[in-house]
Structure 1
């Protein structure tokens, strides 16, 4: 029994954001069709280390794959000269239970999370949306921008706001065009990337907003948003995290990646507990929308929210593509177990 082991740099060479977007879209649809299983999320916060880890697992019946990953986010690693975001992923053949791949989890996580946020924008933002805002300029931000521009190439302006470091937002904005070309093979000559200090100003100018911060205090207020704004909220994946004011949910059209998980640890957790919305106000899951089972945006004034807590079944689909392509070009190490 041989298992393919792939390093981070090897994965980067064999998977493409365009392919990952289609794999993520496909898995969301498989979930809607009852062909996936999400196993309970495990997470833990290391208080003294100001860090967190989570374990995600699942089964994609349509692909006959199951597995798990452990991700660790230790921001203070930067001061030690170490990568802050690390993880290991294991993929198994569901026909036999035999492991088929062990690999770095961080890059695949960033790719599939970028695809998820962008699919939310593409499915729910106004068709004439031209301005995108990224709240959070960390590791995930370039992936969100890349995937969104692939699906919505008519985006003319991208505001990048980081509540902790304007310098980080400035650096990303100045380098974004180069990153898109070198890392994602995307030409973005018609798009302007703007670092902005004021969250309020960027929100007031934006048609679609993607949030990717670990905030536990709402950073965006309802009074700032204009009619027809879409939110893809990706930062809330543990209890009590919150990036947007609960009041924004009132009257909005709300969608989840996994309804049960979002109610427990997603952006909608606190609005539900506070009584701003009820469970009945959640229209359904993004896969249901993609399959045409539920309606999406119906007019240009609606506020739409996609609450994405992150699903390991998306990683599995991306990992399958990486394993197949790596084997084809003889990349990675085959180990007998």
Structure 2
């Protein structure tokens, strides 16, 4: 049997950020309609904060597909001349069980995760948001910025912070405009990109904050946050990870991508355990908000949080889109 394989290069050529956003938003809606199945995730840390892996799997009945993604984050790969995020998506027919194809996991992960952060902001951030902050300068940062610009074309300033190395943030900011043009065909001539060294100051001046780090300790404190701020918390995808102060959740409007996984391994895990967030205060899953089944932001002063651990459903939907396009 000749199983189709779509490489990272082919993903970049054939998948636009608009496509990734559409596939991702559709999955959130299907999940809210109970038209998806998510199976338990397997996590393992080889070196906490520096090397880990996960296996995520699921089933999309309407597309007649199921499958899994195995992906690994290996920070030391950068020094070896290798990508720090590597993986593979396997797609199967739910009607025959036959494999339909394999797709590079790192490139799809980047696109659908960027889409997730932006969709969370699209439905929860203030519509007049002008300043955004990306906390983290790793593999995911360009994808988050590209997707955010698609969702908020009127953004004026995007600040980038690396809490452990301000030099990395400055270097990233100096090259992101060219990366957006080359990798995503996005012109960002009117946007100011800044690498920041003072995280507290950057947080206090941001309307939208996207966190994409593997941190196990809070990087952002509640007292830094101005009224009306939206958070898309992307980095916490394993038990014990935490990027923002749990006190931020006390009065926040909170949505998740998948309640079960977020409860066990997302940004809400520790606030739930500490009691700064109760489960009955979680407003719902993002698909519920998109479909109007749950209420989101009520005023321009609300603090809103979208907790995304990521789901194989997103990878499968995007991989299926690419495999069908490639036929």
Tell me the TM-score normalized by structure 2: 0.98
Equivalent position of 1:240 in the other structure: 240
Q: Secondary structure at the match of 1:57?
A: strand
* Residues 120, 306 of structure 1: 8 Å contact kept: yes
Cα pair distance change 1:49/1:116, threshold 3 Å:
closer
* Residues 51, 72 of structure 1: 8 Å contact kept: yes
Q: Do residues 228 (structure 1) and 232 (structure 2) align?
A: no
Identify the range of structure 1 (80-89 vs 220-229) with the bigger mean alpha-carbon deviation: 80-89
Equivalent position of 1:6 in the other structure: 6
Report how far residue 9 of structure 1 moved.
1.0
Equivalent position of 1:304 in the other structure: 304
Equivalent position of 1:330 in the other structure: none
Equivalent positions of 1:168-207 (< 5 A) are: 168-207=168-207
Q: Secondary structure at the match of 2:12?
A: helix
Tell me, in whole angstroms, the C-alpha distance in 2 between the residues paired with 1:260 and 1:109: 20
Tell me, in whole angstroms, the C-alpha distance in 1 between the residues paired with 2:64 and 2:97: 10
Report how far residue 67 of structure 1 moved.
0.3
Tell me, in whole angstroms, the C-alpha distance in 1 between the residues paired with 2:47 and 2:214: 14
Equivalent position of 1:68 in the other structure: 68
Tell me, in whole angstroms, the C-alpha distance in 2 between the residues paired with 1:272 and 1:55: 24
* Residues 252, 303 of structure 1: 8 Å contact kept: yes
Q: Secondary structure at the match of 1:227?
A: coil
Identify the range of structure 1 (139-148 vs 87-96) with the bigger mean alpha-carbon deviation: 87-96
Equivalent position of 2:278 in the other structure: 278
Tell me, in whole angstroms, the C-alpha distance in 2 between the residues paired with 1:193 and 1:79: 26
Q: 1:206-237, CA deviations, whole angstroms, 9 ceiling, x for partnerless residues?
A: 00100000000100001001000000000001
Tell me, in whole angstroms, the C-alpha distance in 1 between the residues paired with 2:210 and 2:123: 13
Equivalent position of 1:335 in the other structure: none
Identify the range of structure 1 (213-222 vs 164-173) with the bigger mean alpha-carbon deviation: 164-173
Q: Do residues 145 (structure 1) and 152 (structure 2) align?
A: no
Tell me, in whole angstroms, the C-alpha distance in 1 between the residues paired with 2:191 and 2:255: 28
* Residues 84, 139 of structure 2: 8 Å contact kept: no
Tell me, in whole angstroms, the C-alpha distance in 2 between the residues paired with 1:83 and 1:300: 40
* Residues 39, 56 of structure 2: 8 Å contact kept: yes
Equivalent position of 1:315 in the other structure: 315
* Residues 221, 245 of structure 1: 8 Å contact kept: yes
Q: Secondary structure at the match of 2:63?
A: coil
- Number of equivalent positions: 327
Q: Secondary structure at the match of 1:133?
A: strand
- Structure 1: gaps (5+ residues): 328-337
Tell me, in whole angstroms, the C-alpha distance in 2 between the residues paired with 1:138 and 1:30: 30
* Residues 134, 158 of structure 1: 8 Å contact kept: yes
Tell me, in whole angstroms, the C-alpha distance in 1 between the residues paired with 2:49 and 2:28: 35
Equivalent positions of 1:206-221 (< 5 A) are: 206-221=206-221
Q: Secondary structure at the match of 2:239?
A: coil
Tell me, in whole angstroms, the C-alpha distance in 1 between the residues paired with 2:313 and 2:223: 36
Tell me, in whole angstroms, the C-alpha distance in 2 between the residues paired with 1:228 and 1:82: 40
Q: 1:248-288, CA deviations, whole angstroms, 9 ceiling, x for partnerless residues?
A: 00010000000111010000000110011111010100000
* Residues 158, 191 of structure 2: 8 Å contact kept: yes
Report how far residue 124 of structure 1 moved.
0.4
Report how far residue 48 of structure 1 moved.
8.6
Equivalent position of 1:40 in the other structure: 40
Cα pair distance change 1:195/1:57, threshold 3 Å:
same
Tell me, in whole angstroms, the C-alpha distance in 2 between the residues paired with 1:326 and 1:114: 23
Tell me the TM-score normalized by structure 1: 0.95
Q: Secondary structure at the match of 2:4?
A: strand
Q: Do residues 252 (structure 1) and 247 (structure 2) align?
A: no
Identify the range of structure 1 (59-68 vs 209-218) with the bigger mean alpha-carbon deviation: 59-68
Tell me, in whole angstroms, the C-alpha distance in 1 between the residues paired with 2:92 and 2:14: 20
Equivalent position of 2:129 in the other structure: 129
- Structure 2: gaps (5+ residues): none
Tell me, in whole angstroms, the C-alpha distance in 2 between the residues paired with 1:49 and 1:122: 29
Q: Secondary structure at the match of 2:297?
A: coil
Report how far residue 144 of structure 1 moved.
0.4
- The alignment's C-alpha RMSD in Å is 1.2
